[in-house]
Amino acid sequence: MKYTQLGRTGLKVSRLVLGTMNFGPQTDEADSHAIMDAALDAGINFFDTANVYGWGENKGRTESIIGNWFAKGGDRRDKVVLATKVYANMAADGQAAWPNHDKLSALNIRRAVDASLKRLQTDHIDLYQFHHIDRDTPFEEIWQAIDTLVQQGKILYAGSSNFPGYKIAQANEIAARRGGTIGLVSEQCLYNLAERRAEMEVIPAAQDYGLGVIPWSPLHGGLLGGIIKKEVQGGRRASGRAADTLKDPAARAQVQAYEDLVDKHGLQPGEVALAWLLTRPGVTGPIVGPRTADQLESALRAIELDLNEDLLSGLDEVFPGPGPSPEAFAW
């Protein structure tokens, strides 16, 4: 495994991040524990989750699965850089949130972190991430709550997720004015070959403020994992974001061109998509969310891939980025 610093911090993390969103909804607890053991054995030390994972009637279930794994001992907790998130309504789907039981008020942050700590069976969270911007809560209040949690030893660092560039700047400028607050150290955003809009504002802001970039959905919901070839061979069919994209003939042709290019180089589409992200400036490591041990093995192979210039140029031709900001939209 290869490691890097998380943004401007001294925290060393693996260049693949184990995403746990499937633990509970799609992968049972025993298999989830096996995947976490395999990830740790492979050197992955950065695990990402969220308080809402488990979904539906089972929000919080994923954190509980991880907590039960930590409880097995064997230095599991000590070896893991643990990241979770706060923002979501924890009520069951279809039920309204009780006032102050969601978003980023100081009251909900305090309540949510204690609930996550209990489910995770740990005394601290290494990276506590804001899952979305809160348009109603000022950053002065958010940072006051975070500073208190840091002083109490309940969290070590704070990060953002799904933030636009200007909110990353605003959050860290207010943190700097307050003094004594390190501010955001990471941004978890949607970023992959097929979805490169983050290159316009989010990633430049993250780089300027020293945030590590943690891309989620690196295969764009399976779209970049060889989905057309799998369909032809009678395998898993596209669903969700991938299925919606493939309804567009132009987008389907683009994905086919991608699969053809990767096949020409004798590589696997999913592994190339991950390896490409590892070449991108500012990227700490993509989040991989395996449902099975085999999917984890495939992701691990991406670490060793060395994409040559011919392939990188071809990828840019198939999936051109937006270009630098502001020229991408101003000229």
Residues 101/111, Cβ–Cβ less than 8 Å: yes
Instruction: Choose the catalytic residue: 53, 87, 191, 258.
Output: 53
Q: Where are the beta strands (DSSP E) in the chain?
A: 3-5, 12-14, 17-19, 46-48, 81-86, 125-130, 155-161, 184-190, 212-216, 287-288
What does the block give as tokens for 211?
């945030």
Instruction: Answer yes or no: are the C-beta atoms of 180 and 167 closer than 8 Å.
Output: no
Contact 166, 200 (CB under 8 A): no
CA–CA separation, 20 vs 64, rounded Å?
A: 11
Q: What is the DSSP letter of 88?
A: S
The sheet that has 46-48: what strands, in order across it? Answer: 212-216, 184-190, 155-161, 125-130, 81-86, 46-48, 17-19, 287-288
Quick check: 175 and 184 in contact, CB under 8 A? yes
- Quote the tokens at residue 140: 């002065």
User: How many whole angstroms separate alpha carbon 45 and alpha carbon 307?
Assistant: 24
53 annotated active-site? yes
Q: Could you list the active site residues?
A: 53
